[in-house]
């Protein structure tokens, strides 16, 4: 399965993950995002998405194991997962590019933009990788 995890780069950037070599992905509070997080399995591929001013997919990570109960959550409802970086994308793929591409009309990133953990179909994954390998589109100046 493929996933997209969102994080504010000023809080924990992809470069920080690369530097630390692994992290525990925690702090997810939205019930649907938690449901998705609980479904993450060892070896699953993860797009790392920077929120805030960047709004772009910047790297690929991998789940180092299955999701498990968050030891810091007294209710026992929250899950976490250990992830490690795989590689930085050749170039960031922006939310604007994704929204402009008809291939993503059903993508959760477009439909439910506040969700911090979401599935990515195989077709969506391939399309983002293809966009990352292409020259960035030129923005029209206004």
Please compute, for residue 43, the number of CA atoms within 13 A of its CA located in the half-sphere on the CB side: 0
CA distance 18 to 137: 27
pLDDT of 138:
65
CA distance 115 to 33: 6
**pTM, to two decimals:** 0.93
What are the start-end ranges of the H helices in the chain? 9-12, 14-20, 31-38, 95-100, 108-111, 122-133
Angle among Cα 25, 11, 46 to the nearest 5 degrees reads 40
- Residue-level pLDDT, tens digit, the chain, 142 residues: 999 999 999 999 999 999 999 999 999 999 999 999 999 999 999 999 999 999 999 999 999 999 999 999 998 889 999 999 999 999 999 999 999 999 999 999 999 888 999 999 999 999 999 999 987 776 655 4
Contact (CB, 8 A) for 109 and 118: yes
């Amino acid at each position: 399965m493929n996933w997209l995890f969102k994080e504010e780069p000023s809080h924990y950037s992809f470069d920080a993950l690369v530097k630390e070599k692994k992290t525990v992905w925690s702090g997810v509070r939205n019930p649907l995002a938690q449901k998705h997080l609980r479904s993450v399995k060892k070896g699953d591929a993860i797009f790392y998405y920077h929120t805030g001013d960047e709004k772009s997919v910047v790297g690929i990570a991998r789940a180092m194991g299955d999701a498990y109960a968050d030891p810091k959550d007294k209710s026992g409802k929250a899950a976490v997962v250990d992830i490690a970086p795989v590689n930085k994308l050749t170039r960031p793929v922006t939310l604007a590019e994704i929204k402009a591409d008809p291939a993503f009309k059903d993508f959760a990133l477009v439909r439910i933009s506040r969700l911090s953990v979401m599935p990515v179909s195989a077709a969506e994954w391939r399309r983002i990788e293809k966009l990352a390998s292409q020259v960035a589109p030129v923005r029209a100046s206004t």
